[in-house]
Structures are given as structure tokens and as C-alpha cells.
Amino acid sequence: MLFSLKVIFFLSLLLLPVLKSSWVTLSNNGYDGIVIAINPSVPEDEKLIQNIKAMVTEASTYLFYATKRRAYFRNVSILIPMTWKSKPEYLMPKQESYDQADVIVADPYLKYGDDPYTLQYGQCGEKGQYIHFTPNFLLTNNLPIYGPRGRVFVHEWAHLRWGIFDEYNEDRPFYISRRNTIEATRCSTHITGTNVVRNCKKDSCITRQCRYDSKTGLYEAKCTFIPNRSQTAKESIMFMQNLESVAEFCTEETHNTEAPNLQNKMCNHKSTWNIIMHSEDFQHLSPMTEINSPPHPTFSLLKSKQRVVCLVLDKSGSMAAEDRLFRMNQAAELYLIQIIEKGSLVGMVTFDSYAQIQNNLIKITEDNTYQKITANLPQEASGGTSICNGLKAGFQAISQSNQSTLGSEIILLTDGEDNQISLCFEEVRQSGAIIHTIALGPSAEKELETLSNMTRGHRFYAHNDINGLIDAFSRISSRSGSIFQQALQLESKTLNISEKKWVNGTVPVDSTVGNDTFFVVTWTIQKPEIILQSPKGKKYTTSDFQEDKLNIRSARLRIPGIAETGTWTYSLRNNHAQSQLLTVTVTTRARSPTTLPVIATAHMNRNTAHYPSPMIVYARVSQGFLPVLGINVTAIIENEDGHQVTLELWDNGAGADTVKNDGIYSRYFTDYHGNGRHSLKVHAQARKNTARLSLRQQQNKALYIPGYVENGKIILNSPKPEVKDDVAEAQIDDFSRLTSGESFTVSGVPPNSNPSQVFPPGKIVDLEAKFQGDRIQLSWTAPGKVLDKGRADSYIIRISKSFRNLQEDFDKATLINTSGLIPKEAGSVENFEFKPERSKTENGTTFYIAIQATRETSLTSEVSNIAQATKFIPPPEPSIPDLGTNISAIGLVVFGLAVISYIF
């Protein structure tokens, strides 16, 4: 069984957003266009809106001073779910939606806490996906734990907007500094405090001084840094924004380059302020020296509306080629029957040189109302291509049905060129509609994506095959945040079957899905023989599959009730005398309103690339907010010529992947074969019981403060609920998910180019070092010859006793003999051991080590992260008394506690 998320703990109906272009703008020092969206599962509560307003207002002033008078929050929209009652002050949204919001308010990531966090998995300086606040965080007093909400919001905004990372590290809370002092991982080191271990039973805690770990030279596990409440340090917001004195980000002067935190790892030891000032926001922005404080933000309350969708389909003469009209109709029919959510209002327009409204809006219900629309799918292709006429007719179909075009969606599919498309750009902007575009084939109008980009719509490219179209339509689901009606793809496969031959396949149906399950088969010449068998042996044959009435060569079977959990088996036989293409598509929905389904989403790190800039493929696999680990995730990228590149994506914390085991699977894409549009498809599979669900907290979050030292006493907060190591993961069923990412465009690729000759080996980002006796042991993840692909030719390892010297002048550091070290295939674990030479090694000696990977063409990777190894001989342990048992005020024996020292 998949891990059960009980409804008492986890009521969210979550549609997890994918990468989006930020619609927030910064002009005249004010941020506009911020969207904070409340999930439909959150109960109506006026106080929630009041507290959001108060948080943002407080944050605006804090941000103003943190950015040295450069920025504040000017305009913010709060998106109210349809499930709440209407009020006169609620306005109609334009293109704002839950799945593209900057901030979401939804039930917890898991039942163990309400840590505010930012979904952030790009590279240094790249924007995050969204900030997540729980209702409980916004409605209860968390001041002792996180500090004022406004400060927390700025901490998360820095993740989201500027792509900087946290300056603490819960996995490595301490490190040995270059001055051989044990330091708390933090920025800046001027923040003072004490280090204690506390053992709590019910309402009683025993607190004592931290002991040394004889193996690491650091403090023992569970040692915690407790800050002094009274501080003089102003930095840093990315460490402890809760401290009253903290009001700034770490600068070059105050940044702690040694701390083993994600900021140093991801940003090459640069300070957070350095990254912020190099962001597009602040490169040409001057401080507002003329005012003491910014004006208060303006808030708009928007209430989500019923979903309105109009299909605008091309039936011009070029659609007759390569069966495009048939394939469009097959995909559109599948969308109307299997994908669009019940209760939606749907219309249809067809166009060539002119446009015709085939249907005004019709409400899709359970009683086959979709047939009123599918009956009007075009049967003949002729004429020219006028996209503007099609769009105008789409707007008319919506308005004639007494619906506003504001926030309505148009799905525009075309294969043709139209040099007049720009003439209606302004009308599209004024409509407030969301335009999703599907470019079919290599000749589709090149400005098509402009419509999606200006209206917050999705953009897809489909080659001439039916699967590409079906996959694109399947991704255009509700943007409201409710996931239980969302259709999920379990299978999407094209099979070229020879005459009179059988082909077999399997599809797992896991225990999170099974409602409204369809098996669909399409063909190019003649209907095949079909056999489908359930996990318990029930057979469905060709006669059970309903053939459409429009002669568009497809047949479907809707499984009655809830589809059986387990592996379904299908067999197809081509009875025709020629080989033909058959496709198999399987869609389903969540099993029940209390079981969150496993979801996969995919995207590239940007929508355009100019050769030879590499791109990154991202796929997120999750159940609710919980990452799914240990599965096979494969990306298929196809260009306009039909050339496909297949990439296995990794969640190993190396190469393009930011954090290991966070459910984000990543890989560099470098195999450019021509210019133009490219499509992205991702297949996530769990087989042979390898999948597991991570129950641990997200990265990039506001730190849960364990307590404070105040007036010589330790004031403890309630212990943070933790996931025990033995239940940190839960095994889940085998499953299969397919999803499409939005299309992207490549330019600048020269004829007959060889991308493998352009890119160097990837940077090593996870180098670790430790002493074993008098030798240093290294470990890291192998990069490739071409970023994270293939096998590098050699390694250059250098060592120094000076961190700064190694960082600033790697080539002058001492070279380690690596003649016997042969690089492994990319993604493999590398281990290497050596003895430091020509240097006296004694207790407390610290070495810094870094690596480069090379290839035969003299291309060399960036220098790796800098690893530290300290020779440590543990002293005899003194007896240490406990320091009291009162949870609210524990006497602090100053001589018994190690107070953090400065290193600068």
C-alpha cells in the first residue's frame, strides 16, 4: 500500500505548480503583481486574510531596510478559492491562478510541523517556484520559534526571488574553523550563543554541555546552538531572521565562507548580498534615499471562478497532410472525454482563413454532454490560416455564453504559418484570457508562443505523432489547486506493429489512483484486436472497447467503478496486411478525496536556449508535498526533425541536481541537433518495490529556533516534532506516470555541430574529506566528460592549508599524485586516499582540498567545492554536570558551556 496520509493530518487538495516565468515586476523600487493563493481545501477564515495582509505589510518595511532602501512590496493580490463564500469586495481574477502563484497557503508539507519554506531547486541566482505557508503558521503565534511573520516572509522571498540559499545546515550544524575552533554553521559568525544537548520527556528537559565526538572532532549528535536573545550582529536574514538585531544580509565583509551550508555550496562561497546585487532586480536600481519608510502595500482580493475553456482548432489545408486533422480530432476527443474536469464550461471554434463557432459554452457533466462538442469536430481541411480570426471567435463564444474572457482559457492548436498574428496581440492582452498554444509540426507559426508568454498560458510542441498531441492536451488541467479531479497519464506509447503480429505491454495502477480510468487505442489503418486483463484476471476484449462515431480511428474502454490495484496487461494484434502504428493511452484520476495521488511534473530551466548554453531538465515526483525517491525517471526530448534524445534523470545531489533525495530529478541537456522548437516528455516509473516516500522536511526554509539565552538563562521552545530515522521513509506501490513539459526553443546551433566537443566536464559539488590515521580519504560523485554525461579523462586534486589561497588561486596549490586514479562513469561514487606530503601533520592540522575534472580536448571543469579535513586526537572527556531541568528557564553555568568564538 502507498503511504497513507490521513485526512486528519493532511487535507490539502494540492496541485503542485511547475516552473513558471515570474509575473512579479519591480519598477520604481516597488514590487507589483505578487499573487498569494489559498488552497481550496483551506476552511474559510477571515482572520487568514487579515494575517496575510499584516505579514506582507510588515515584510515590506523589513525588506526596504534589508535591501538598503531599494525595494518594497507595492501591489499584492490574494486569490480566494471558489469554495469560500462570495463577498462584494472580491473581484474577478484576470490570469492569476493557484498553480502559478508566488505564495501558496495550503495544509502542511507533512504532519511534523509548519516550517515556512520555498520550493527552490534551481542553480544559484535562479528564481524559486513558490513559497509555502500553512494556515496554522499564519493563524497561530509562532513568534518565539520563527520570529515575526514579516521577517519570515522576507527570508523566503530571498529564496524565491533572488535564488539564494540558507546559511545554516541542520545536517552539519557545526564545523571546525580555520582557527581550529568548533563553530556553529551560520552567517555571520558574530552571532553569539551556546551549545547544549537537551533530553526532554514530556514537560521536563535536562540540558547539558555538548561533548566531543572522538571520531569527528566535532560536538556529539543532537548538540544544538542556542543563540543569545540580545545580539549586536545585524547579519544575517538567511540564518536567523528572528533575532531582533538581524536586519541585513551577509556581505563580502561579514560572509562566512567556511560554513558548510547550501549557500556556499551552490553559490561558490559568495555572500547572499553579492548574489542579490547581481540579480536583474538591482543591477540598475538606486536606493530611495528621500523617504524614511515605504508606503503600505495595496491588496486586491480575487475570487476564483468556474473553469471556462474554449478549443480553437485549425482546420486549414495544411492540416490534411500526414493525418494531422485526424490526430487533432483524436486528441481533442480524448481531452473532452477523459481530461477536462467535470463541471467545466467548454466551447469550440474552428478556423482556416475564417473562423466559425461550433459550440458556445456547454457544461461538461456525467451524462455524455461532451458528445455535443465532439460531434462538431472538423472532418475536412481546407483554406488558409488566420489565427487572429480563430482567437476572436473564441472570445465571442465565451462572451455570448454570458461569461467573461477574464481568466477564461483558450486552447489554440495550429500547424500553419500566419504573418498577421501580431495584429491581435493587443486584443489578446485586453481580453484577460489565458492562451495555451499547441504547435503541431515544424511549420507552425513562430510567434505562437508569444501568445502563451503574454497570457500565462502553457506552450507545447507536438511532432506529427498522435502521442505528442495527447500528451500536450493532457497537461492542460485545472489551475485552481484542486487535484482530485485532475487526470493523470499512466501510459502513452506508440507501437509500430508488423502485419498479423501481436505486441504485449503492462500498466501498473497504484493505490492512489483508479477512479475514472480509461484505456484508449488508436490506429492508422485498421482497428486491431485488443485484449486487456486486470490484475485479478478479468478480461476485456475488442468488443468491450467503444469505437467513436466520427471515424477518427480510436476506441476506448472506461473501467467500471475503481480500477483494480496492480499490473494490468494488454495485447494488441495488427490484423491488417501492412504494418501500422498503434497507440495506447491510459488515464485515470485520484482514487478518493482522502488519498493524494502520486504526481509528476516536468520542465526545462528556461524556455529558450542559445547554443552552446546547456539547459537543465527537471522532473518533480511527489505525493502531496512528500518527495518520491528511488524511482526511474526518463526524459525524452524531440526536435522539429523528429530526432529524439533520451536522458535518465538523477536525484543524487550532483551535477545539475541541487539536493540529494528531494524528489527533484535533474540532468543537463547538451545534445543539440538543430534549431527550433523542442518538446519534453517525462516518464516516471517505480518497479520492483524500489520506490519510497520521504517524510523529512524541505530544504530552504525558515529555521526552527530551539530557544534563546536570556539574562543568563536558557529559555527553551517546545522541541520540534521530528521524523525518527527508522520511519523517515515509507515504501510505496509500483506506479507509472507520464507528463509533458512545456516546449522550448533552441537557436544558434551551427550545421554539422558536435555538442560533445563544446562542453567541459561537470563541476564536482559534493567533495567530502576526512582523516583516517595519517591519510586523507576523499569521496565525491563522478562528473562526466560532457557535464554529467560519459566519463572524464582525469582528475586534478590540489591541497592547501589555506582555504582562501585554494579558493582564489587553485593552480598554485600543492598538486596530489593521481596517476592511479581512473575516473568512473558519470554519477558513480568516487573514492581516493592519499597521505599529505612535505607537511607536518599534528593534532589540529587542517587541510583544504579541491578537484577539477579534465578531458582530452583541454576542457576543464570548474573547481569543485572545497572540502576540509582536520587531524583530530580527542582529549580525555571531563565529567559534565546537568544544567537543570526547568523547560522554561534553565540556569546557565557560564564556565560549563562553550560560547561560540569569532573567527574574523
What is residue 297's DSSP assignment?
A: P
What is residue 477's DSSP assignment?
A: -
- Please report which helix (H) or strand (E) contains residue 356, including its range: strand 355-363
Catalytic residue status for 638: no
Cα 470–chain centre separation: 23
**Phi, psi angle pair for 98, to nearest 5°:** -60, -45
Q: Which entry of 96, 156, 167, 235 is annotated as an active-site residue?
A: 156
Residue 627 vs residues 574, 595, 619, 746, 781: alpha-carbon distances, Å: 41, 15, 11, 31, 22
**Residues forming a β-bridge with 636:** 646, 681
d(CA 214, CA 398): 72
Helices H / strands E in the chain, number of each:
14, 50
- Please report which helix (H) or strand (E) contains residue 193, including its range: strand 193-201
d(CA 104, CA 98): 7
Residue 255 vs residues 170, 193, 252, 849: alpha-carbon distances, Å: 19, 18, 5, 21
CA-based max dimension of the chain:
91
Using left for φ > 0, alpha for ψ between -120 and 50, and beta otherwise, residue 881 falls in beta
d(CA 83, CA 850): 55
Q: Which residues contact 157 (CB under 8 A, 6 or more apart)?
A: 59, 63, 131
- The beta-strand segments (E) located in 513-565 are 513-523, 529-533, 539-541, 546-547, 554-558
Cβ burial, residue 660 (10 Å; 0-12/13-18/19+):
middle
The amino acid sitting at 732 is I
Distant-in-sequence contacts of 541-549, Cβ < 8 A, 24+ apart: 545/519, 545/521, 548/333, 548/374, 549/375
Collapsed DSSP state (helix, strand, coil) of residue 126: coil
d(CA 673, CA 226): 55
d(CA 138, CA 639): 46
Cell 496492480 maps to which residue? 566
Cβ burial, residue 512 (10 Å; 0-12/13-18/19+):
buried
**Cell triple for residue 339?**
481530461
Active-site residue set: 156
